[in-house]
Amino acid sequence: MTRFSQTARLWAFILLAAIVPASLSAAPFAAYVMDARTGQPIYRQNADTRLHPASLTKMMTLYLAFTAIERGQVRLDSQFLVSSNAAAEPPSKLGLRAGQRIELRYLIRAAAIKSANDAATTIGEGLAGSEEAFAQQMTQMARALGMQNTNFRNAHGLTTEGHYSTAHDMSILGRRLFYDFPQYYNIFSRRSADAGIAQVSSTNKRFLDDYPGADGIKTGYTRAAGFNLTASAQRGNKRLIATVFGGTSTAQRNQTMAQLLDSSFSRVPDRVREVRPESPRLLAQTVVRRAQVEPTPAATQPVAQRLVLQTSLPPVRVNRDALSEAVERAAATPVAAAPAAAAVGGLALAASARPLLRPGASPAAVENAVATAVASAEEAAPSASLAKEAVLAASLRPVPAPRSRGNASLVASAPATGNSGTDPDDIARAVAEAVPSSGGGTSMSLMASPAPKPRSEGVILAAMGEGDLANPEAVEIVSRPSNSGRSWGVTLGMFTSRAGAEHLLVQTALSDGATLDGASRRIADTNRGFEASFVNLTKSDAQLTCERFRAQSRECQVVGP
């Protein structure tokens, strides 16, 4: 009996060794649990140990794909070309062929739900041009998100030298997917989806079905990494995100995750102040190249140079004696002859050595000028002499002008003076001759001018005489809407109450603020119910809004102008 039991134990041990997977002790164990609302840790074990993340890598691949969509770099219906490198990736895979083109929406579903390696590689190559360039972008984004112990070498997570992460960093990434892209997060809770060329099933279906409140996120397995899982679950107001590295099997990994979540839910409070993660700060590297220039003697050693103004002329010397004689002749010569004397003297601005004295500074010159002026005045008017009386004393007062040229009595009453030509009789006679006696002539008098015609009180807006009644040319009136280009809209379905329709519109506007900026909410009361819709959108914004709703398996329809 003893011998039989020993034989049975031996066979049982051999059978157990054959059944136990080779990865039983292939990877060390690590775990991390955080409160998703605050990001604070609740449980950790080897949380910062660098291990193989396996297909948890695809979370970063999808994060960059969602980022590119939100930035407008690509669309969900963008066609990605499958390379031979992507088509040759080992399973798990979607079955893509080299040279094939497939929409980005199907690649995202295959990478997130089936964990297809060929789909992940196609996403990376389509966004960055090559898998190596995409891996660099993944690492840069990891640093921007605070994942300090993560380095990526590919987009799918197959074991590669230098490709590693930690349970802590993957939990940070899972929280980022939940908060940064809530419009796409529901894809991680799907059990199956249409991937374009095939219907794919979720690798995380068992845990989603077994654990209440679980809604994601991603599984991973390689022989070097073991069975990995980053999960998210909610109970009431509480939400936890946890990561397990190095599970020995799918069942053991899921059981360990369930135990960690159960114990952590009991340790966190129901209500806490939510702290959302800040937007990632991406640092752009700028390469500055400096030109190396060898110094030359001409630039470093100053050389004395002699500047010569060859165009400048020497100053003209002036004979001071000749200049004095010319000034005296100018003072004694009448004004009309002064220019000729100046020309004879050779007066020039360039030849003057110093400013000339004014004539008033020399008494002889002043007397000479006064005598010349008096002589000229006597020749023009012999009755007026500057030598006998002052000039102002001999000037006559102005004769007042008559108020009417037709009134000779006013002119005759002007005071008589000795001035020639100002006799009152002469003025009256001249006025009488200028003004006709008959009323038929044209009068030069202000009082005789006819009164102006009264101005009409009417305002002429346009000339509408008989000559303007011709048939006008036909005018084509072109009307354009004020919101040209924003005449599209989307319909989000029918609701039994107005409150339900309004709640959906407000929630959508808050989550898609960039796309729905400028759009107007509209609720139509129809026989079938309340129809919720957004209007005043461009065609591209309307299509993008419906793409996001359809990605969430929700009803949406684009309405054109």
Which residues are identified as catalytic? 55, 58, 115
Could you write out the three-class secondary structure of 138-193? Answer: HHHHHHHHCCCCCECCCCCCCCCCCCEECHHHHHHHHHHHHHHCCCCHHHHHCCEE
3-class state of residue 273 by DSSP: coil
**Contact assessment for residue 355 and residue 367, using Cβ atoms and an 8 Å cutoff:** no
Closest by CA position to 157, among listed 309, 54, 73, 260 = 54
Give the integer Cα–Cα distance in Å for 242 and 239. Answer: 10
CA distances from 362 to 118, 328, 331, 347 (A): 113, 10, 10, 20
Record the tokens describing residue 166, joined without a space. Answer: 């930690």
Taking the C-alpha atoms of residue 390 and residue 299, their distance in angstroms, rounded to an integer, is: 78
Contact predicate 122/96, CB 8 Å: yes
Beta bridge partners of 45: 31
Residue 205 labeled ligand binder: no
Write out the two tokens for 34.
């955080």
E strand or H helix that includes residue 246: strand 238-247
- Contact between 70 and 514 under an 8 Å Cβ cutoff? The reply is yes
Which run of H or E residues covers position 79?
Answer: strand 79-81
Q: Rounded to an integer, what distance in angstroms lies between the CA atom of residue 140 and that of residue 63?
A: 12
Q: Which amino acid is at 116?
A: A
Q: Which of 509, 553, 561 is nearest to 534 (CA)?
A: 509
- Phi, psi angle pair for 36, to nearest 5°: -65, -25
**Tokens coding 38:** 């605050």
Give the three-class secondary structure for 341. helix
The span from the CA of 73 to the CA of 67, in Å, is 9
Residues tagged in the binding site annotation: 218
Q: Which residues are annotated as a binding site for substrate?
A: 218
